Amino acid sequence: MFEKIKPLYDRVLIKRIEINDKTPGGIIIPDAAKDKAQTGEVVAIGAGRLSPEGKAIPMQVKVGDVVYFGKYSGTEAGDDYLIIREDELLGTVQR
């Protein structure tokens, strides 16, 4: 599905990374206790935003980055995808 979505300006398309159903100790987490994942992989980015002078400001994230975002950030795009502004991202996972 994401191949049909091209984010505009400083928006980022993220595919949620699901959390495990079990804790490291083997406890199964019920669906009611699970929250939507707040981490995801960047699958598409917009062209960036413009400065007041009209110059392009490059995006800080790139396709393939794993990012953290707030619980209520962005707009749902299907079950597994989220469109979010770059400035709503909280950070990236360093590999």
The tens digit of pLDDT for each residue in 40-62 reads: 999 999 999 888 998 888 899 99
| CATH architecture, domain defined by 2-92 | Roll (2.30)
Nearest-angstrom CA–CA distance, 48 and 68: 19
pLDDT digits (tens, 9 = 90+) for 68-93: 998 889 999 988 899 999 999 999 98
Which among 10, 3, 12 has a CA at the least distance from the CA of 65? 12
What are the structural domain ranges in the chain?
2-92
The reported pTM is 0.78
